[in-house]
Structure 1
Amino acid sequence: MDLRELLSEFKNDNIDIEEALDKLKKLPYEDLGYANIDHHRQIRNGYPEVIYCEGKNDEQIIGIIEKMYEKGSNILGTRCRLETYEKIKSIYDNCEYDKTCKILKINNHPIENKGKGKILVVTGGTSDIPVADEVYHTAKFLGNDVGRIYDVGVAGIHRLLYRTEELQSARVIVVVAGMEGALPSVVGGLVDVPVIAVPTSVGYGANFNGLSALLTMLNSCASGISVVNIDNGFGAGYLASMINKLD
């Protein structure tokens, strides 16, 4: 129940003042001992809290989901283990999972598309798809029209140039690449919209687990490019959604 629903329920005498006060106490955050769930984030930021599953045990993740589910929130979990998903699916049958990017989703209500245009996710290679799909599912979950152009890296640049018209029709572009990380610079030189660059840890030894791609993207000569952390598809999808909803 969000704040508007709560006030409406109280106004219509569907709940008494004590029950309303009890619910209001839990609006800012709810202390579970191992986690403080920020129920107020939807009101402040327009998006509910997202669960980063890596490093949490199954009981902790399920406990957080239970409390968010009670509030009627749509739930997104990133870096979720398959075994964890299977346990959650046995409790919540509307739970969905993507094995490629390890994203878990539970939709308590339909997602309204509030984006002003299209977000396009582009990868250098097929090996970048797990991170790119994290971008894709995050942006979709947050209410956006999202498209994908995969495996169009600079080693065969004609593949990218063939899609120039589609690139130029997007409102925000997220470019996901490993190796030397040159693709965002090329895309940035072809379009007049914001480009979010995501370095991946894909590459051989001197790639330093994505550090070389990160430094290339930070030093891009193309204007209008922002860079998120290595393999941070969620952060890129979230930022792209915020940009896409601006007037």
Structure 2
Amino acid sequence: MDKDYLNSLIDKLLKNDISKDQFVTYLTGIFSDEFKFDTNRKLRLGFHEFIFGESKTIQQLIEIISSLEKNRIPFICTKLSDEKIDVISKKFPEVEAIPEAGMVRYFFTPPSPKKGEVAIITAGSSDIPIAKEAMFTLDSCGIKSKIFADVGVAGVHRFFNIKDQLYSYDILIVVAGMEGALPSLVAGLFPQPIIAIPTSIGYGTALNGFTALFAMLTSCANGVTVVNINNGFGAAMAAFRILQNKYREDTDV
């Protein structure tokens, strides 16, 4: 259980920064006919519920964000089109828009810094939007990260120019489309956990990311963890869970 978060809620209640109803909402959830928000996920798992925005209508997103903001529930929303981000930004000016990552987010207090740092390595510059989705997701959880872009195997000398810098990071997230070769190279050189993200970048037989996905799943480098195509958010959350476990100070769940 996230004791720091629970104590912060109690402090806010005692200082009248949040109401009794809001305190109960944090512990139990927001429920409506259409949406049921898991607002106490932070207490159980250390991170807030996040919203997958791609398949939701603009009206649904407005209703969700209105409810969360009213109850001062922090959130990030991923996989948003420029149109959705534009509408949300105009209606909710206090919500931070991150169009380069296809995200918006809102925190009434900044996330507390956590231990650990993550390097996010992209094979090409076309993979950067997915890398930024991972970076801003980690940032929303209080984890520092840095992107090392455009160092794929087509110009492998570029990768070796950054090689020495990567040893200082706790986890390496590797983002690649085309044939998806870069995670195997990285995993053959570094001892850290490797999380691979296949992207939908590539020509015809790249199959919108399936070729990279299959290549990463069949990597001969041992212990590569692979998330779904274009899932920068999922890779970031996997890294967050690893770091939470690595740096936890007690055995409470």
Shift of 1:20: 4.5
Distance 1:83 1:65 in 2: 16
Q: Give 1:184's aligned residue.
A: 183
The equivalences for 1:68-107 within 5 A come to: 68-107=68-107
CA contact (8 A) 1:196 1:226 kept: yes
1:24-43 CA-partner distances (Å, limit 9, x unpaired): 37733322222111111111
Give 1:113's aligned residue: 113
Partner of 2:124: 125
1:227/1:103 CA distance change after superposition, 3 Å? same
RMSD: 2.4
Q: Secondary structure at the match of 1:27?
A: helix
Q: Is the 8 A contact 2:196 2:225 kept in 1?
A: yes
Which structure 2 residues correspond to residues 144-155 of structure 1 after superposition, within 5 A?
144-155=143-154
- Residue 221 of structure 2 corresponds to 222
Distance between the aligned counterparts of 1:3 and 1:143, measured in 2?
17
Q: Which residue of 1 aligns with 2:251?
A: none
Over 3 Å counting, the alpha-carbon distance change for 1:87 and 1:112 in structure 2 is same
Tell me, in whole angstroms, the C-alpha distance in 2 between the residues paired with 1:22 and 1:156: 53
Describe the SS at the equivalent of 1:139.
helix
Do the aligned partners of residues 86 and 187 (structure 1) sit closer, same or farther apart at CA in structure 2, a change above 3 Å counting? same
Identity between Structure 1 and Structure 2 (%)? 36
- Report deviation, 1:229: 0.5
Distance 1:8 1:199, change over 3 A: closer
SS of the residue corresponding to residue 101 of structure 2 reads coil
Within-5 A mapping of 1:1-247: 4=7, 20=20, 24=24, 27-116=27-116, 118-245=117-244, 246-247=246-247
Cα distance in 2 for partners of 1:21, 1:57 equals 29
Q: 1:4 and 1:154, CA in 2 relative to 1: closer, same or farther beyond 3 A?
A: same
Amino acid at match of 2:94: N
8 Å Cα contact 1:121-1:176 kept in structure 2? yes
In structure 2, do the counterparts of structure 1 residues 46 and 205 end up closer, same or farther at CA, with 3 Å as the change threshold? same
Name the CA distance, whole Å, in 2 between partners of 1:174 and 1:84. Answer: 28
Q: 1:94–1:107: 8 Å Cα contact kept in structure 2?
A: no
Could you tell me whether the CA contact under 8 Å between 2:26 and 2:73 is conserved in 1?
no
The C-alpha deviation readout for 1:149-178, integer Å capped at 9, x for no partner, is: 000000111100111111111100100001
TM-score (norm: length of structure 2): 0.86
Residue 84 of structure 1: CA displacement? 2.5
**Counterparts of 1:107 and 1:40 in 2: how far apart (Å)?**
15
- What are structure 2's unaligned runs of at least 5 residues? 248-253
Checking the alignment, whether the CA contact within 8 Å between 1:6 and 1:20 is kept in structure 2 is no
Point out the structure with the larger helix share.
2
Cα deviation digits, residues 28-65 of structure 1 (max 9, x gap)? 33222221111111111111110111121122212222
Change (3 A) 1:4 1:71: farther
Distance 1:221 1:80, change over 3 A: same
